[in-house]
Amino acid sequence: MDAEDFRTCLISMGYNMGEVEFARIMSIVDPNRLGVVTFQAFIDFMSRETADTDTADQVVASFKVLAGDK
């Protein structure tokens, strides 16, 4: 997904962040600065961030919704 879709996903999951924090997160999930978040990068990041609240299946479902079930 692109960076804006990723931001929308984070906001929908309750993350409130400014530009600096979002840039920090993007540097983690998009280290090559391609402007996209791969499925694996999304899963890795969200699994770390939501370890106490969501299961891996919930994280995958969130990605699929935002990626148009692709």
Bridge partners of residue 36, in order along the sequence: 2
As a whole number of angstroms, the distance between CA 9 and CA 26 comes to 13
Report residue 63 as tokens: 């990605």
Predicted pLDDT of residue 52: 58
Predicted pLDDT of residue 62: 74
CB 8 within 8 A of CB 2: no
Report residue 64 as tokens: 């699929």
Which pTM value belongs to this model?
A: 0.67
Predicted pLDDT of residue 14: 84
The rounded average pLDDT for each run of 10 residues, N- to C-terminus, in the chain (70 residues) is 92 88 94 94 84 65 72
Predicted pLDDT of residue 67: 75
Predicted pLDDT of residue 24: 94
